[in-house]
Structure 1
Amino acid sequence: MRLSARRLNRTLLARQHLLQRTPHDPAAVVHHLGGLQAQETLPPYLSLAARIEDFDPYAVTAGLEDASLVRLGTLRGTLHLHTADDALVLRPWLQPSLERQLARRVGVPMTEVWAAAEEVLADGPVEQRDLTEQLAARLGAPAADLGVVARTTMPLVQLPPRGTWRGSGGIVLEHLERWTGHPLEGVSAEEAVRRYLRAFGPATAADVSVWSGVTGLRPVMTRMDDLVRHEDELGATLFDVPDGVLAEGDEHAPVRLLGTYDELWLAHAQRDRVTTTGSRGNWQGANGAVAHTVFVDGWLNGLWRVVDGRVSVVQLFRDLTPPERDELEEETARVDALLAR
């Protein structure tokens, strides 16, 4: 089936719970999405508030404190919020790609970095600064580089209160297995692909690679007889799970306020399901992402910031219709209420 850009847009929004909020709890939504980018504290909370009815940010804090939710480097080598169960299976699958990213970062074999880091962590959680300083003292390489290698190529969790709602504190690290009390298990490439497609499909193999950082997935997906095939307007093959529901394309997409980073537009190769070249340029500015994002009619159409604890829309990329302005006011009030908690 050939799918229009609008059907793909609405299908993605539906699978992301952005056409209609879900009553599911934060852990269930984090699991469905395969994780949320979390190098900044606020965006994951905004992502969940946009998707969940009556979202309680303190439920995420509780999950981080009881280790059912964790924050660690995973997809694309970037800090993400995951359920503990997902982190334990995704992290081994991602390991080869994470190692390739940093193969030449330091002139020390990675096995020596890992062994030294395990020695430092043997007595329990350690502050990130202490870890890097001790690695430098043991291995004689630059502390900053050794820290990046250890944090990226080892499953090291950032412990609460870091990342909690209204929490603060330095970065304290612990091994994922010790923090959760469960072993790393691994997941097959096929199951990782299915997980991705349920939340982001239909999609190309390149899309899955951009989301995960894992390359060479087209042969894997081509061999998966259970996947269905579609085409986009340019004729590119799109893979999907057999029970993946496709939107009609005429569904209403309400205004949503999302964070600086959201997997909604970071998880496809061209990022054109919900953004245009112009809107991406406005978002990125000269030095990377500059503000949180306003989505109108399913597309990135504005930017906002938190000013004095409230939403401040700093730019809209087009004039809004009166109903869209009403929706923006309603959504702004929702996020203001979240920020006041």
Structure 2
Amino acid sequence: MTKTTKRNTPRSAATAPVLDTRALNRATLDRQLLLRRAPLSAKAAVEHLLGLQAQNVKPPYYALAARLDGFTPGELSELMADREVVRIVTMRSTIHTHTAADCLTLRPLVQPARDRELTIFRRGLEGVDLDRLAALARDLVEAEPRTMKQLREALLAAWPDADPQALAIAARCRLPLVQVTPRGLWERSGQVALTTAEHWLGRPAEPAPTPDATVLRYLAAFGPASVKDMQTWAGLTRLRDAFERLRPDLVTFRDEQGVELFDLPDAPRPDPNTPAPPRFLPEFDNLLLSHADRTRVVPPEYWGRAWQGNQAHRTLLVDGFLAGVWKLEDDHLVIEPFGRLTRDQRRAVTEEGEHLLSVMHPGSSYDIHFGTVIR
């Protein structure tokens, strides 16, 4: 364990202890349930992780398979069918799977970012009364779930001179629109149809939580972290004041570049030499997206290797760091390491691949081989 500063005795960034890259890596992996599989329910894990990136349907399922002991895809699918978790645009203007409670609080928290997003489309919204648009869109989607195409067409009838795409984006930014099931269910999905979170969940949105409360939750899931790290995760700005208010109850460190890092006093900070087993992560996993400085997980030489244009690849961790990509293709699990793996690492990756397949595709026959994913 890394020795912490004394509680309620803030240190300046210049004198705070230094956490090197491996120390940050192991601490973050522990918070992310990736050093060992956790005996948590899917719902508890989604809550602890402050949601799962869900641009596509399958990533939340693979994210939990990498993190939880005893997880089955049906567990998360049932939660979604029962409206205990939902798919909604929140952090970084991207779709996340959240618990119902977090959907009703975190979405209000990031509303300022959604309001800023609207400025990008202001030319296409000239002459549009956004309050009236929000009211009309709410009536439409609460009468029955609508696809984005249906929403565009209905709003265009009210504002025929506006940009149709901008109208739909405005509705998404002004309203907490969730994707209704069967979209998001395991092996049952469907097209995206939207209604409001309040209508789908049968209760009103909560007041936005204070940034302070969310800072503490973010550190529990992603810390130790800087102010910019959390701003990157949330897509928000001006969070420095919240960290400063909390400073007396936090501990501080520095990274190797001297950036100040905040953390919870009793949060785990394992020995940097703690073994980290291989893990297969989905595309867009928040582990790789939730810090301004991603070197705690992504070696500099592999920066950009998990992306090809706008397409993200599913990623492989070895010794806690990004080390390759993978895909399921026909009846093969194809693994492409970025560098040479030792014999023991190759064996451990294969065993983890077998575990992945047994959880996510039981009864199916897949061959595992090392080959080319990125073409």
Q: Same fold (TM over 0.5)?
A: yes
Aligned twin of 1:295: 317
Cα distance in 2 for partners of 1:288, 1:178 equals: 33
Aligned twin of 1:197: 219
Aligned twin of 1:129: 149
Selected match of 1:210 from 213, 232, 240: 232
Question: Can you list the C-alpha shifts for 1:26-79, whole angstroms capped at 9, x where unaligned?
Answer: 110010000111011111111100000121111111111111000000001110
Contact 2:280 2:353 (8 Å CA) reproduced: yes
1:322 matched to 2:338? The reply is no
- Please tell me the residue identity of whatever aligns with 1:18: L
Aligned twin of 2:132: 112
Aligned twin of 2:198: 177
Local SS of the residue matching 1:300:
strand
Aligned twin of 1:237: 260
Contact 1:265 1:273 (8 Å CA) reproduced: no
Aligned twin of 2:280: 257
Question: Can you list the C-alpha shifts for 1:171-194, whole angstroms capped at 9, x where unaligned?
Answer: 111110111112211210000111
Cα distance in 1 for partners of 2:312, 2:92 equals: 20
- RMSD across aligned positions (CA): 1.4
Deviates more, 1:123-132 or 1:166-175: 123-132
Instruction: Map 1:1-341 to 2 at 5 A.
Output: 1-105=17-121, 106-107=125-126, 108-140=128-160, 141-185=162-206, 186-224=208-246, 225-285=248-308, 287-308=309-330, 310-313=332-335, 315-341=336-362
Question: Can you list the C-alpha shifts for 1:118-173, whole angstroms capped at 9, x where unaligned?
Answer: 22124232233211210111122222221122123310110111111101211111
Cα distance in 2 for partners of 1:64, 1:142 equals: 33
Cα distance in 2 for partners of 1:92, 1:60 equals: 24
Cα distance in 2 for partners of 1:309, 1:259 equals: 18
Cα distance in 1 for partners of 2:189, 2:210 equals: 36
Q: What are the ranges of 5 or more consecutive residues in structure 2 without an aligned counterpart?
A: 1-16, 363-375
Q: Give the deviation of 1:334 after TM superposition.
A: 1.6
Cα distance in 2 for partners of 1:179, 1:273 equals: 38
Contact 1:309 1:336 (8 Å CA) reproduced: no
Cα distance in 2 for partners of 1:18, 1:327 equals: 15
Local SS of the residue matching 2:306:
helix
Contact 1:279 1:300 (8 Å CA) reproduced: yes
Cα distance in 2 for partners of 1:114, 1:17 equals: 39
**C-alpha spacing 1:288/1:241, structure 2 compared with 1 (3 Å):** same
Q: Give the deviation of 1:340 after TM superposition.
A: 2.0
Cα distance in 1 for partners of 2:318, 2:19 equals: 21
Local SS of the residue matching 1:71:
strand
Cα distance in 2 for partners of 1:91, 1:131 equals: 21
Cα distance in 2 for partners of 1:38, 1:264 equals: 13
Larger radius of gyration: 2
Tell me the percent identity: 39
**C-alpha spacing 1:279/1:130, structure 2 compared with 1 (3 Å):** same
**C-alpha spacing 1:104/1:3, structure 2 compared with 1 (3 Å):** closer
Q: Give the deviation of 1:104 after TM superposition.
A: 4.2
TM-score by length of 1: 0.96
Structure 1 moving runs of 4+ over 3 Å: none
Q: Give the deviation of 1:283 after TM superposition.
A: 1.1
Q: Give the deviation of 1:112 after TM superposition.
A: 2.7
Matched length: 339
Contact 2:142 2:199 (8 Å CA) reproduced: no
Cα distance in 2 for partners of 1:119, 1:203 equals: 41
Cα distance in 2 for partners of 1:48, 1:328 equals: 18
Local SS of the residue matching 1:302:
strand
Question: Can you list the C-alpha shifts for 1:75-126, whole angstroms capped at 9, x where unaligned?
Answer: 0111000000111111111111111111241322432321220221242322
**C-alpha spacing 1:180/1:310, structure 2 compared with 1 (3 Å):** farther
TM-score by length of 2: 0.87
Deviates more, 1:187-196 or 1:164-173: 164-173
Cα distance in 1 for partners of 2:340, 2:42 equals: 34
Cα distance in 2 for partners of 1:150, 1:73 equals: 12
